[in-house]
Amino acid sequence: MTMTLPFLPFAKPTIDEDTIADVVAVLRSGWITSGPKVQAFEAALSAYFGGRPVRTFNSGTCTMEIALRVAGIGPGDEVITTPISWVATANVILEVGATPVFADIDPVTRNIDLDKVEAAITPRTRAIIPVYLAGLPVDMDRLYRIAEKHNLRIVEDAAQAIGSTWGGKRIGSFGDLVSFSFQANKNITSSEGGCMVFNNEDEARLAEKYRLQGVTRNGMDGIDVDVLGGKFNMTDVAAAIGLGQFAHLDAVTSRRKELAARYFALFGPDFERISGAQLPPADQGQTNWHMFQLVLPQRIKRADFMSMMMEKKIGIGYHYPAIHLFTLYRELGYREGLCPIGERVGRQIVSLPMFATMQDSDVDRTVDAVKSLLQ
Ligand SMILES: *Cc1c(COP(=O)(O)O)cnc(C)c1O
């Protein structure tokens, strides 16, 4: 029976025909790098984020690196972040010459624990990079109270959180520097890309310089370079994809909420007790359900679970192993035991299939398979 079913991946982008036609039109237009489509995408995003300044970039990684540069963070500075994220979150801190300080996660939300953030603040702390894992925000009121009290910048790694809300407000429509990714597996994609929402136009203009070789243009034939920038601009090809995807954002978010509700209903109230696995925290309507993640019980090895699910033709992801245990970070002196909760979750967390074009029957099939292995 399972032999006849197609493989179910854990994530899958869907690009509609109108978007494909728009991309083709860009390719035929003679203007394929940053141009009118980038401007239109930035305008659409800015409107979505309540009129705040928005700039696009060619990844959600460089976006955060540039945010740190805009905030003037560099050697000698400490930046507090979570061990449970895509490694990009901590790499950008190293990239600007600052020191990542890992604060352990909350075992329920799997996000950085704000008590531990407060405990990790030193006179050298300049910023916090919180991550909204699977799209679930941290306690945003408390986060910004901490920032204000200790005079810290916040670079929100909202890579996974477009469409998520806090107290009814969209993530990105308030706060300090808010970074989103449009990498292929995110809720909406531009194939690769990202954007940053700013507090003010001055910082947005500075980020534009970091985005393109530090260049400022004056008049018809003048340019100057007064900061060291890189090459991080989004192309019109990518922006055309992003614009096409953006039109579906609300529908995508609602469909993901339905799929998550179906997962919860089918796992049922006894699943955690019987299996020893941990479901995601109950939804309070705030998450965009970028992922639906289980933490497996200690008795089962994640690699075994993944291969058994693979035999049932179901793709399982792992987001993420603890960053501070990677070789590069160990070589910098970070050690096992630094963040025990993150280390355990980093070994046992799995991402079940979750994408907007999934069928209800795909959820049913996944839950049956998980239950057959765990309870
Ligand atoms: C995807 C992602 C990034 C990096 O985004 P890219 O666009 O791939 O550079 C950073 N942090 C988190 C949490 C992500 O999920």
Which of 11, 37, 7 lies closest to 24 in space, CA to CA?
Answer: 37
Q: Is the pLDDT of residue 5 over 90?
A: no
Domains and CATH numbers, the chain: 17-246 (3.40.640.10), 249-374 (3.90.1150.10)
Helix, strand, or coil here: 208? Answer: helix
Distance between Cα 186 and ligand 1 center (Å): 8
**pLDDT category, 362, cuts 50, 70, 90?**
very high
The answer to whether the beta carbons of residues 103 and 324 sit under 8 Å apart is no
Q: Is the pLDDT of residue 50 over 90?
A: yes
Q: What would the pLDDT profile of 301-318 be if each residue is shown by its tens digit? A: 999 999 999 999 999 999
Distance between Cα 373 and ligand 1 center (Å): 31
CA distances from 65 to 74, 157, 278, 355 (A): 11, 11, 33, 28
Strand runs labelled E in 247-315? 292-295
Q: What CA–CA distance (Å, rounded) separates 115 from 122? A: 14
Nearest atom (ligand 1) to Cα of 183: 7
Q: Is the pLDDT of residue 33 over 70?
A: yes
Distance between Cα 191 and ligand 1 center (Å): 12
- Taking CA 125 as the corner, what is the angle to CA 115 and CA 56, rounded to the nearest 5 degrees? 95
Helix, strand, or coil here: 56? Answer: strand
Question: Residue 358 is encoded by which pair of tokens?
Answer: 């999934």
Q: What would the pLDDT profile of 201-222 be if each residue is shown by its tens digit? A: 999 999 999 999 999 999 999 9
Q: Is the pLDDT of residue 152 over 90?
A: yes
Question: Residue 168 is encoded by which pair of tokens?
Answer: 């009814």
Any ligand 1 atom below 6 A from CB of 88? yes
Q: What CA–CA distance (Å, rounded) separates 47 from 49? A: 5
Q: At a CB cut-off of 8 Å and minimum separation 6, what does 198 contact?
A: 52, 53, 54, 55, 177, 204, 207
Give backbone dihedrals phi and psi of 133, rounded to 5 degrees, phi first: -60, 130
Any ligand 1 atom below 6 A from CB of 160? yes
Would residue 186 show up in a list of annotated catalytic residues for this protein? yes
**pLDDT category, 375, cuts 50, 70, 90?**
confident
Find tokens 């194939």 and name the residue.
Answer: 191
Q: What CA–CA distance (Å, rounded) separates 208 from 215? A: 8
Q: Is the pLDDT of residue 184 over 60?
A: yes
Q: What would the pLDDT profile of 73-84 be if each residue is shown by its tens digit? A: 999 999 999 999
Q: Is the pLDDT of residue 90 over 80?
A: yes
Any ligand 1 atom below 6 A from CB of 19? no
Region 278-288 average pLDDT: 89
**pLDDT category, 3, cuts 50, 70, 90?**
low
Q: What percentage of the chain exceeds 70 in pLDDT?
A: 99
Nearest atom (ligand 1) to Cα of 131: 13
Q: What would the pLDDT profile of 219-240 be if each residue is shown by its tens digit? A: 999 999 999 999 999 999 999 9
Q: Peptide bond before 320: cis, by omega within 30 degrees of 0? A: yes
Region 249-278 average pLDDT: 97
pLDDT score, position 340: 98
pLDDT score, position 208: 97
Question: Residue 54 is encoded by which pair of tokens?
Answer: 């928005």
